[in-house]
Structure 1
Amino acid sequence: MQTRSSGLLSRRAKHRIGKLFAYLALFIIIFVVDLPLISMVGTAFKNQDAVLSTTSLFPQLGDWALQNFIDVFQKTSFGMNIVNSAIVSILATVFCVIIAAMAGYGLSRFRGKFFTGYSVLLLLMQMFPLMLLLIPMFMLYSSYGMVNNLSSLVIYYTASNLAFNIMMIRSFFDSLPRELEEAAKVDGCSGFVAFLRIIFPISLPGLITVSILTFLNSWNEYTFASLLLRKPDIQTLTVGLTKFVQQSDTNWGYLMAASTIAVLPALLFLAFAQKYLVQGLTAGAVKG
């Protein structure tokens, strides 16, 4: 009896030790992967002398300073860059979610050669690399006088995210039973009213997932923003970050502070919406 109990305790101890080593290995991996992010945040709180003279991740106790953050807002136009990014990203997200929801619902509920061809076209749109679109898009926007205009970015971000979002939200609608719409129609609802009052609220996890991906893609995009926006007062934050990197010098304190500010909205957005993101990504995985 004592041998059995000692063997059981030995297995439990081995299990706990193995679990401890697994957590330790996971912590080390996460630390190594996030080391650039940690260094960025630590450098943002250093003064200019410490930035150039120390190699530690964080400033010494008592030397933490907010001057970099204050100067970024007071001495540069980065605050306006953040506002521009927020406007463009939110508008693109709203338009993309509305259009993707209606298009995805149509592809899920209707069948025919037109809808099949449209689905194939969406897949083909994902095959074109970004660099092939730079010159044609710039010429198109230039011909319509939309260079140095935030609306050009809203249109591009909406269009560039639509194909993936439509296919994603379509798979979510495929998992919803058609009996929901049929029951609503029996109660006197039209097809659009049934979609608006029944299907749309149920599909919120999928729609939130689409909105998260669209917002992050728009918030972090740099190539087209730098191509279409030349005036400093209408540039987005990704383009605004380049003002801290000059040909002969780089203000690392300002750059790290601005980068930390730029990362915060995306992290907070993901932290609050993480539950819906997981639900939306897995909801359409199994049909029925």
Structure 2
Amino acid sequence: MKNDFKIKKVVYGILPYAAMIFALGVILLPVVSMVMSSFKSPETFMSSTSFFPEKFSLDYYRNVLGKTHFLKYLINSVVIGVLVSLFSTFLSILGGYALSRFKKRVKGLKFYTIFLLALQMFPVVQLIIPLYLTFQKIGITNTRLSVFIAYSTFTLPLNIWMMQSYFDGIPYELEESGRIDGCSRLQCLYKLIVPVAGPGISSVSIFAFNYCWNEYLLGSLLLKTDGLRTLPIGLQNFMQEQTTDWGSLMSASSLAILPVLIFLIVMQKQIISGMMAGSVKG
């Protein structure tokens, strides 16, 4: 009986990890296949059925980096992503702090908090036409400004809600001690509250940047000039009406995920702690 109990305990302890490894393998299989395909030579790309390249080749990477506008698309994505991330994070700190500290004093702020979260339920497709018509009337279509405004609009609601939830978990006594020492409310915010809320701030900034990095629909509608396009739109250039340069597409896609992958590995602790605080506290 004791041996059976020990066996069941070991099996039940291993099963969750085995399920996680299996799920991780299923998720990563297409990504690994894409990376391996990018190293195949042009001569064997379509004819080879092997998962791994028979002979590693950098021909497709040379083509992507030397003969296409990939680097220009990469720079555009980085610039737009960084600007939107900074702007969205700054407004999220102010908006989240205001909702956290004044929702009990100002009527309607609790409903506004729920309204912010409900905004995430509306798909982007429903807002494309009114958004495009508005930008067309004010004359900012086919500019980086239009994409900056659109991306900021779609990242702000969730970011404000997350920061509000994180600020709810910071004791108000911390601010009171600062007020006693002569700090204004804004001084308390950026001297006392912001340093404590570092994981939450990192989380919302990463969310905003990741949204801009992967977004395709709005960018393809608002940006028509090739020199303004971001990476997701630029990758579409490898897919023509009659043919598709699959090797170059695999190489460009592998390069596109590399910066985000490195960034997420470096910031994984802040992401986990920030997301946990934003979803549990409050």
TM-score of the pair, normalised by structure 2: 0.92
**RMSD between aligned alpha carbons?**
2.1
Give, in angstroms, the shift of residue 37 of structure 1: 0.7
> Which of these residues, 49, 61, 66, is aligned with residue 69 of structure 1?
61
SS in structure 1 at match of 2:52:
coil
Q: Which residue of 2 aligns with 1:101?
A: 93
Q: Which residue of 1 aligns with 2:70?
A: 78
Do the aligned residues in 2 keep the contact of 1:174 with 1:284 (CA within 8 Å)? no
- Find the aligned partners of 1:274 and 1:100 in 2 and give their Cα distance: 21
Give the unaligned 5+ runs of structure 1: 1-6
Structure-to-structure mapping, 1:193-272, within 5 angstroms:
193-272=187-266
Distance 1:244 1:173, change over 3 A: same
Q: Which residue of 2 aligns with 1:167?
A: 161
SS in structure 2 at match of 1:40:
helix
Give the unaligned 5+ runs of structure 2: none
Q: Which residue of 2 aligns with 1:275?
A: 269
* Percent of aligned positions that are identical: 38
Give, in angstroms, the shift of residue 233 of structure 1: 1.2
Q: Deviations over 1:51-88 (max 9, x none)?
A: 1111212102xx11112111101111111001000000
Alignment length (residue pairs): 280
- Find the aligned partners of 1:230 and 1:252 in 2 and give their Cα distance: 23
Q: Please tell me the residue identity of whatever aligns with 1:79.
A: L
Q: Please tell me the residue identity of whatever aligns with 1:91.
A: L
Q: Please tell me the residue identity of whatever aligns with 1:276.
A: Q
- Find the aligned partners of 2:281 and 2:245 in 1 and give their Cα distance: 53
Distance 1:57 1:104, change over 3 A: same
* Higher Rg of the two aligned structures: 1
Distance 1:126 1:9, change over 3 A: closer
TM-score of the pair, normalised by structure 1: 0.90
> Which of these residues, 84, 92, 103, is aligned with residue 84 of structure 2?
92
Give, in angstroms, the shift of residue 9 of structure 1: 7.3
- Find the aligned partners of 1:109 and 1:145 in 2 and give their Cα distance: 39
> Which of these residues, 122, 126, 131, is aligned with residue 128 of structure 1?
122
Give, in angstroms, the shift of residue 28 of structure 1: 3.6
